[in-house]
Amino acid sequence: MAPNKGRNIFMFILGMFTFAVGYFIVTTFVLVERPSPEGIIEDWDQICFWPDEDGLYAAVSPKGCFSTTCTAPKFQAGTAIIDTQSHKIQLETRFLVAKTSRFPLPCTDNCSGGGTIQFKLDRLVPSDYEVWFRDERVGAVKVFSGRPTPRQCFENN
C-alpha cells in the first residue's frame, strides 16, 4: 500500500510540474500581447530644452494626442548624441502606448498620456546647436554663457 501511495504523490507532483511548464510556455510565447502598429510612435510632437544647475536637459513627447485615462505608456526608449565639434544634437525616440479601457466612462480630454523621454545633456559649450530628430533638422538651440539659457521648445506641426 505504501509504494502505491508514493507513486501517486510522484505522479501528482509530475502532473503539477507539467501544468506549470505548459502554463509558462502558453503565457510567454502564445498569449503575448503584441503591439499594434498604431501603438508604436517613432515621431515627435514636442522637443524642449531647459537648463538646470548640472547641465542642459531635453524632453521629447510622442506625436499624437493620447488621453491619460485611456492610454498608458508601455515602453519608452531614446538616444541623444551630442557632436561638440559640429555643434549638433541628434535625438531619436520610440514610444509604445497601449489603449486602456475605461468603459463606460469617457476618456479625459488631454494629450499627455503618451509619456515623455527626458535626456540629461550635461554642460555644453556656449554656442548655437543644431537639433536633429533622426534625419530631420528641427531647429537650433542657443546655449548662453554668463546668463541663464532660457527654455526653448520646438513643435512638430
Q: Which residues contact 83 (CB under 8 A, 6 or more apart)?
A: 89, 90
- Residue 67 banded pLDDT, cuts 50, 70, 90: confident
**Could you read off the pLDDT of 45-60 as tens digits, one per residue?**
999 999 888 888 999 9
Q: What is the pLDDT of residue 58?
A: 96
Q: What is the pLDDT of residue 108?
A: 83
What residue segments make up the domains of the chain, in order of their start? Answer: 1-32, 37-155
Residue, of 27 and 90, whose pLDDT is higher: 90
- Per the confidence metrics, is the pTM higher than 0.75? no
Q: Say which amino acid occupies 152.
A: Q
